Homo-oligomer: A and B are copies of this chain.
Amino acid sequence: MDHLYEKTLHSETIYEGRIINVRVEDVELPNGKSSKRELIDHPGAVAVIAITPDNKILAVRQYRKALKKAIVEIPAGKLEPGEKPEVTAVRELEEETGYTCESLDKLISFYTSPGFANELVHLYVAKGLEKNGEQAADEDEFLDVLHLSLEEMEKMLETEEIHDAKTAYALMYLKMK
């Protein structure tokens, strides 16, 4: 047993939503005392670095109600129940940008906010892109599609025009390779 382990003493489901569930748990700490944890269950998500034949990266500008503003991110979306992440990745890329891809490679998975949420993002790189039609986003999704060079995106990170963790993770990965 990990010496940092926290045992669940009591778990109460506060809310079961369409995307997230909310739980409050009483836990036993390593020193025997107890504390409360507020936890979000999330189905997980994918994010896609999609590189066009002319070496641009596809980005989307999308209104985020949680932030009360639109921000620039790489294409992404949550997993549907039972859906394999690579299926979600292809679907979200096409829905959000209108592009299909010839190849899709898994890069890495990471947690966005481990202090309170279990959201795990699976990051993919898509190549061999072909514009197959219009965007066909979910009926509650509205997006602008942007074609940006790696250099443009890096500059936008420095100026905080991009300030989204999964997008930064993606750029870091491209830089390291």
A contact set with B: CB distance below 8 Å: 2, 4-6, 8, 14-15, 17-20, 22, 24-25, 27, 29-31, 33, 35-40, 42, 45, 61-67, 69-71, 73, 76, 78, 108-119, 121, 139-140, 142-144, 154, 157-158, 160, 163-166, 168-169, 171-172, 175-176
Q: Which residue of B lies closest to A42 (CB)?
A: B116
Most buried by B among A18, A33, A117: A117
Quote the shortest CB–CB distance from A99 to chain B (angstroms).
Answer: 20
Quote the shortest CB–CB distance from A113 to chain B (angstroms).
Answer: 4
Contact flag A108-B160 (CB < 8 Å), given A20-B40, A115-B66, A116-B42: yes
Contacts of A73 in B (CB 8 A): 114
In the bound complex, CA of A121 to CA of B113 (Å)? 10
Of the candidates B29, B38, B70, B121, the one whose C-beta lies within 8 Å of that of A2 is B70
Most buried by B among A24, A76, A111, A160: A111
Nearest 6 pairs of A and B residues by beta carbon = A172-B172, A35-B140, A165-B165, A4-B63, A110-B163, A112-B113
